[in-house]
Structure 1
Amino acid sequence: MVHEPNNWGRFGPDDQRGTLNLLTPDVVLDALRGARTGQVLSLAMPIRGATSSPAPTTVPHLRGRPLPQHFMSVDGGDYAAGARPVGAGLRVADDALIVTCHGTTTHMDALCHMWSGDELYNGHPAARVRSYGATRCGIEQVGGVVARGLLFDVPRHLGLDHLLAGFRIPAELLEEIATPRPGDVAVIRTGWPLVWQRSPEEYWSGQPGLSADAGRWLAAHDVSVVACDNAAVGGLNPRGLADEDLADDLHLILLHRHGVHLVEMLWLEELGAEARAEFVFVAAPLRIEGGTGSPITPLAIL
């Protein structure tokens, strides 16, 4: 049982969507009114290449995680670059994609992704998470997310290109930048993906991220989603792990206790360059039944 402040039971004993329940039709319609120019920006990292190509290693990822693999099919069985004839002079190329979501590409975490003890978010039994999928709190419960996006461009606020690896963003700094409304998607820019372009080894030396008190501050403001351009929302040490204990772990604070879905490994440089704090955020995970997460392509509509 969770004993510190949480959202368990708030949306009913059977709830599996957490603060996404705050995205009522009125809230969604209000968010859509925030579009001004109609410009659409992708906030996703690219997925590149196959095992025979160095391309996947050119995209930021956590060390040691299986990289996404993209294959082209000539005849439906031979995965190599090319196309197959289908008659009347037409040719068709097919694709196969293998993706390990967490730590390798832009993705959303389901509420079944992490827990402590024997209960998932809202008291659902953790035993329902099995090798064939989670029968509670899977990613298919999300549906689509349309909300007001609120950009917290922390390095720009501090006059930096990117935060340093050991920096943990305090709640007071977020409060200086903006105050979210219930249902907002809080988008946190650290600028850390820029480091990959300079040195993968430096990228793997650790990562900046939210502090535990910043996570609690966002949860207290009823955000529907927390999205970040780093690999874990919270910070990481050189071993790719969080240093916080269980009480202060960002995934447990947000996913497990408050039912706030997480989006990780965004690309926010174009959005940051627009200097727009508010925008329409749109995203939908793949409908993977029982999935602990899904690759997504979030969009910012300005």
Structure 2
Amino acid sequence: MLEEPNNWGRWGAGDERGALNLLTPETVVAAAGCVREGRALSLSLPIRGATSSPAPTTVPHLRGRPLPQHFMSVDGGDYAAGTRPIGAGLKMADDALVVTPHGTTTHMDALCHMWSGDELYNGHPAGRVRSYGAGRCGIDKAGPVVARGVLFDVPRLRGVERLDAADRVGVDDLEAAGVEVRPGDVAVVRTGWPLAWRDGGPEAYWAGQPGLSADAGRWLAGRDVSVVASDNAAIGGLNEHQLADEGLDDDLHMIFLWRHGIHLAEMLWLEELSETGRTDFLFVAAPLRIEGGTASPINPLAVL
């Protein structure tokens, strides 16, 4: 059993959902009270084009990761020859989509994504994570997320368009937002880092990334959030080698996924949400039911 504060055993020895257990019917009903305008915003980056075209390189992603591949048969130029006739002169276009979520598109990490030693979150055996899928704590165990979202718009608080690559979001930044954090909330942290791709291209984006500090991560975990989401690629910061500088004890994935069972949503697009000035909203996201998956692409929504 871990010595540092954690959620192991809190929802039973067999639990595989972690802090998502905080999303009780009462919590969801209360979260719906954040809807005051009836307007929905997508918080997702686009999945764009095939790797045979330059389209995917126009969307932020980590260097060296397999890019999403979207093939269509309608023009006869990709994975199938022509369209498929379905009678009466009608034709049907088909799609094929290949996505490796981590580092390439908006996604949610499963609790089996990272661990230490021989145990996953809650003491489940890490040996159950195999090439054919994880037998425990896969993304299929998460289910839909309907919760109150709270935005920590750190660049806006600091009076800048986006944070610098070396910046780390501390407890003082979170407290300065003046946001009341309730059990079950989805904590959404804006760094503005996708704008680095827009302003300077891939090399600027790959120069490092801002992110949460370990103390800020513990601050959020101590307030019983159900999910932590951000517009960067790893929740925590990255150096120019796209690696975290923190040791194992301070690694944000270990703090959230392994110790507290808090799912992570990464690579969101938060610019339109920032422009609204809203700090609370209804957050909705549904990972695909990929049995034993370490992650799933998602299209999170902020309902204002």
TM range (shorter): over 0.9
Q: Report SS of the residue matched to 1:188.
A: strand
1:53 matched to which residue of 2?
Answer: 53
Tell me the residue number matched to 2:83: 83
Say which of 215, 218, 221 aligns to 1:219.
221
Select between 169-178 and 24-33 the one with higher mean Cα deviation.
169-178
Select the residue among 233, 256, 259 that pairs with 1:257. 259
Query: Structure 1 residue 73: deviation in Å?
Result: 2.1
SS of the residue 2:217 aligns to: helix
Q: TM-score w.r.t. structure 2 length?
A: 0.97
Deviations 1:146-167 (A, max 9, x none): 0000000000011000001001
Q: Could you tell me how far apart the structure 2 residues matched to 1:273 and 1:13 are?
A: 43
1:274 matched residue in structure 2: 276
**Closer, same or farther: CA 153–81 of 1 in aligned 2, 3 Å:** farther
For 1:141, the aligned partner's letter is K
Residue 65 of structure 2 corresponds to 65
Structure 2: runs of 5+ lacking an equivalent: none
Among all aligned residue pairs of Structure 1 and Structure 2, give the percentage whose two residues are the same amino acid. Answer: 73
Map of 2:237 onto structure 1: 235
Partner residue of 2:132?
132
Deviation at 1:2, TM superposition (A): 1.8
Q: Alignment partner of 2:108: what SS?
A: strand
Alignment RMSD, CA only? 1.5
Query: Distance between the aligned counterparts of 2:76 and 2:33, measured in 1?
Result: 45
CA distance in 1, matches of 2:27, 2:91: 46
Residue matched to 1:32: 32
| Cα pair 1:163 1:208 within 8 Å, conserved | yes
Counterpart of 2:18 in structure 1 is: 18
SS in 2 for 1:273: helix
User: Aligned AA for 2:261?
Assistant: G
1:189 equivalenced with 2:199 (yes/no) = no
SS at match of 1:256: helix
Residue identity matched to 1:87: G
For residues 45-82 of structure 1, the C-alpha deviation after alignment (integer angstroms, 9 at most, x for no partner) is 00011122000000000000000000002599962696
Shift of 1:128: 0.6
Distance 1:40 1:128 in 2: 39
The yes-or-no answer on 1:244 pairing with 2:246 is: yes
* Structure 1, gaps ≥5 residues long: none
Matches within 5 A, 1:92-171: 92-171=92-171
How many residue pairs get aligned? The number is 302
Cα deviation code 1:103-145 (max 9, x no counterpart) = 0000000000001111000000100100010000000011100
